[in-house]
Amino acid sequence: MKILFTTTLGLFLFMSCGNGTGTKSLQKKATTTENITINDSTNVIYFAGGCFWGTEHFFKQVDGVIGTEVGFANGHTENPTYNDVIDEDTGYAETVKVLYNPKKVDLKLLLDLYFLTIDPTSLDKQGNDYGDQYRTGIYYTSKEQLPIINERIKTEAAKHTRPIVVEVTPLKKYYKAEDYHQDYLENNPGGYCHINPALFQFAKDANKKNNH
């Protein structure tokens, strides 16, 4: 059954993720694929889908997702702050780290859900946010994930007349964002989000039939 979601207009029309105020953060340690631990009960994938506030809140709803974290991925500077990423040419994308139990939720489902939250043909723009920090991307952490991702990209491309511009690369570098960005929509229920609110309930229900 296909479900059509329409964009909710209103107060959020003139808001954007970049309207948040940032402060300089303490020194942070970069994460790369070399220090990602993968085992039978825990796996990790990184999704860039525009403003990371909404993308994180969305994936937090999914049964089988163990934890989420927002940060900056695959840029070329060291120890970036939010202000650096927004205002400077750092090359980083706002990204959500998704830890999940592969025995409870399949990567294919996570990819299906991800594509509900983005326009995969929009380059460096999602919702009201513009700039390469808002580009879409799937950053994998194991070679086993890549063919699954490529197959899903192929399926998505068949739905569109315009090319898919979601970048698919291994995670090369990742820094956790400042604490006030973590769980942002839980702490700020009226905060900006480019994702249709109806999708949060959809994500919550998406995997229940498999685990209950």
Residue carrying the six token digits 């970048």? 167
CA distance 72 to 112: 23
Contact of 92 with 198, CB cutoff 8 Å:
no
> Would residue 51 show up in a list of annotated catalytic residues for this protein?
yes
- Which listed residue (51, 96, 149, 195) is catalytic? 51
The set of residues, in sequence order, having a beta carbon less than 8 Å from that of 108 and lying 6+ positions away, is 148, 152
Burial of 133-172, coded b for 16+ CB within 10 Å and e otherwise, reads bbbbbbbbbeeebeebbeebbeebeeeeeeebebebeebe
- The residue with tokens 């063919």 is 147
DSSP string, 7-39: PPPSGGGG--GGGS---PPPP---B-GGG----
Beta bridge partners of 44: 99
**Nearest-CA neighbor of 57 among 117, 101, 122, 6?**
117
Would you name the residues annotated as active-site residues? 51
